[in-house]
């Protein structure tokens, strides 16, 4: 039980046994500008491949009118050593209140594993369109 008068502070949420908490900080550079009148309002949606399907686990905040956003929201995951944890990062323009990437709001995506991210200090990958071609010079870090 928590008793603030006695100075006891509740512990953070428990994690799965054998897992390490990993915090990802995400930024993008040179996002495509699909609307000629305004810059994109980007958001990043993070999916994890689990039980033979892609499941959304986190998403960043929406940044207004920004083609090279640095998101402040930290994306937290549990990392299991020696277990392959495929990730997808989807970047979309949430200008019209979109809550998930659609063809008209999709700015690009990339895939990697959580192990690849953990093993490096910084990972930068090109964003790809749905047809597999690069989204201009757009990248995600």
- For residue 132, what are the CA distances in angstroms to 87, 127, 135? 17, 9, 9
Kind plus residue range of the DSSP H or E element containing 27: none
pLDDT tens-digit profile of 103-113? 668 999 999 99
Has residue 90 got a pLDDT over 90? Answer: yes
pLDDT at 53: 96
Has residue 81 got a pLDDT over 50? Answer: yes
Cβ count near 24 (within 10 Å) = 20
Residue ranges with strand state E in 68-124:
75-80, 86-93, 106-113
Flag whether the pTM goes above 0.85: no
Question: Distance between CA 104 and CA 92 in Å, rounded?
Answer: 9
For the domain 25-138, what is the CATH superfamily, name and number? C2 domain (2.60.40.150)
pLDDT tens-digit profile of 15-68? 566 789 999 999 999 998 877 778 899 999 999 999 999 999 999 999 999 999
pLDDT at 29: 97
Check if the beta carbon of residue 33 is closer than 8 Å to that of residue 41.
Answer: no
Tokens coding 48:
């994890």
Share above pLDDT 70 across residues of the chain, in percent, rounded to a whole number: 82
3-state secondary structure of 46: strand
Task: Give the mean model confidence (pLDDT) for residues 84-106.
Answer: 82
Check if the beta carbon of residue 41 is closer than 8 Å to that of residue 101.
Answer: no
pLDDT at 74: 96
Cβ count near 125 (within 10 Å) = 15
Ordered alpha helix ranges (H), 1-141 = 114-118
pLDDT at 57: 94
The residue extents of the domains of the chain are: 25-138
């Amino acid at each position: 039980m928590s008793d603030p008068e006695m100075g006891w502070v509740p512990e953070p949420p428990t994690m799965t046994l054998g897992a390490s908490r990993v915090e990802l900080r995400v930024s993008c550079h040179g996002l495509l500008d699909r609307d000629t009148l305004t810059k994109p309002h980007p958001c990043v949606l993070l999916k994890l491949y689990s039980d033979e399907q892609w499941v959304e686990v986190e998403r960043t905040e929406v940044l207004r009118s920004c083609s090279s956003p640095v998101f402040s929201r930290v994306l937290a995951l549990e990392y299991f050593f020696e277990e392959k944890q495929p990730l997808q990062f989807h970047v979309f323009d949430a200008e019209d209140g979109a809550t998930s990437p659609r063809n008209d709001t999709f700015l690009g995506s990339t895939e990697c594993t959580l192990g690849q991210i953990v093993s490096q200090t910084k990972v930068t990958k090109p964003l790809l369109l749905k047809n597999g071609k690069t989204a201009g010079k757009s990248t995600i870090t």
